[in-house]
Amino acid sequence: MEALITLLPGDGIGPEVTECTQKVLDAVATMFGHTFNCDTQRIGGAAIDATGNPLPAATIASCEAADAVFLGAVGGPKWSDPNAKVRPEQGLLGLRSVLGVFANLRPVKVYSELVGASPLRPEILEGVDLVFVRELTGGIYFGEKTRDATSASDLCTYTVDEIERIVRVAARLAAERNGRLCSIDKANVLETSRLWRNVTDRLMPSEFPDIELETLLVDAAAMHLLSRPADFDVLVTENMFGDILTDEASMLAGSLGMLPSASLGTSTVGLYEPIHGSAPDIAGKGVANPCASIASVALLLRHSLGLHAEALAVEQAIGQAIAAGARTADIAAAGEAYISTTEMTAEILRGLN
C-alpha cells in the first residue's frame, strides 16, 4: 500500500513526539511492505512565527491531499496572550473544520503494569477499557462570541443533525465492542443538553435496539469515572464536556502521555494526535512520553488506511515495552528509573522487528 501522510509537529514537545511517530511509520512500512510518504508542514505557534498564520495555505493543501494527518501539539507561553488576535489554537480548530472531522475518539486503556502510576486504587482500575466519543465541531467552542469591557459571552448551539451523527458514530463503535453506550449531558440545566437527550432517547431504540443505553449528567459522570470506570464501554458527549472528561480520564491510565486520539468525519481522512498538548515545561528535555503519539499511529493505520493487522502490531509493541519495564518519567513510580523519549521509542520499535 502507498499512502500520503501529513505530519504537523507544531509546538512544545510536538516535534519530539512527531519524530518518534515517523520512526514507527517507517518501521511499519518496512515490516509490512508499504510505502508511507510523509509531508511535514507547520501549524500553531510555529506557523505564526514563520508566516503570521496558525494554519497556512500550504498546510491546508497538504492536509487536503493526504490520506491521513498526524498532529503533534499546538500552543505555548510564547503565544498565550489572551488578547492576541492570532493564536495557535485557531490553527487546530481551523484544521478540524477543513477536514470535516466531527467525531473525536479517545480510547482509555489501563495497563496492569501501570496501575501504580494512577492516583486511584488498583482494584478500581481493574478491567478499565473504554472509549470516549466527543463531538468536535459544535457547541460552545464554535458558537458566536462577544466581549466588551464589562462582559463576555460564548454561545452554545447544537442541531439535531449534529447530535444524530455523533450518537450514530458512538453507537456503531459500541456495537463493535461490548454493546454499552453512556450518553452524557446536563439536561437538568441546559437547553442544548435537553435537545441532546431527546434526540438520543429517540434515535437509540429505533436504530440501535441492541445497544444498552445509560444516560448521566456530566457532574455525575465525572464522579463515576473515578468510582466505577470499569463499568463504561463507550461514552458520547458534546464538545466541552468531552474535552474536560477525557483529561480527567487520563488519570485512569496514569498519564496524559499514554492516551491517543482520532478525529474522524465522513471521509476516511482523519486527524490523529496525542491528547497531552504541547507541555512547554518539558519541551526540549527529551523526557516526553511518546506512547500516546505512537498509539495515535495505530489509530491512523486502522481508521484511515484500513490496516488492522499493522495497527494491532503497533499496539502490541507498546504493551510489550510497558510489560518489559520501559518507563518514561511521567509513568515511572517514585524512585524508579526512567528512560528518554527516544529510548522509549526504541523499546517499542524492538517489538516491531
Alpha-carbon gap, residue 328 to 18, rounded angstroms: 16
Catalytic site residue 49? no
What residue type is 60 in one-letter code?
Answer: I
Catalytic site residue 67? no
Which residue out of 11, 67, 243, 330 is catalytically annotated? 243
Which residue out of 141, 158, 185, 330 is catalytically annotated? 141
Is 65 exposed, middle or buried, given 0-12, 13-18 or 19+ CB atoms closer than 10 A? exposed
Helix (H) or strand (E) holding 253: helix 239-253
Alpha-carbon gap, residue 164 to 22, rounded angstroms: 36
Which residue out of 154, 231, 247, 338 is catalytically annotated? 247
Catalytic site residue 338? no
User: Helix 88-99 vs helix 44-51: angle between axes, to the nearest 10 degrees?
Assistant: 110
Catalytic site residue 330? no
Catalytic site residue 219? yes
Is 148 exposed, middle or buried, given 0-12, 13-18 or 19+ CB atoms closer than 10 A? exposed
Which residue out of 186, 233, 272, 330 is catalytically annotated? 186
Alpha-carbon gap, residue 318 to 24, rounded angstroms: 11
Alpha-carbon gap, residue 301 to 314, rounded angstroms: 9
Question: Hey, CA dihedral for 11, 154, 192, 265, is it positive or negative?
Answer: negative
Question: How far is residue 11 from each of residues 41, 74, 254, measured CA to CA in Å?
Answer: 12, 5, 23
Nearest to 78 by CA among 52, 45, 56: 45
**DSSP secondary structure string for all residues of 166-214:** HHHHHHHHHHHTTSEEEEEE-TTT-HHHHHHHHHHHHHHHHH-TTSEEE
Alpha-carbon gap, residue 310 to 350, rounded angstroms: 15
Q: Which residues are marked as active site?
A: 141, 186, 219, 243, 247
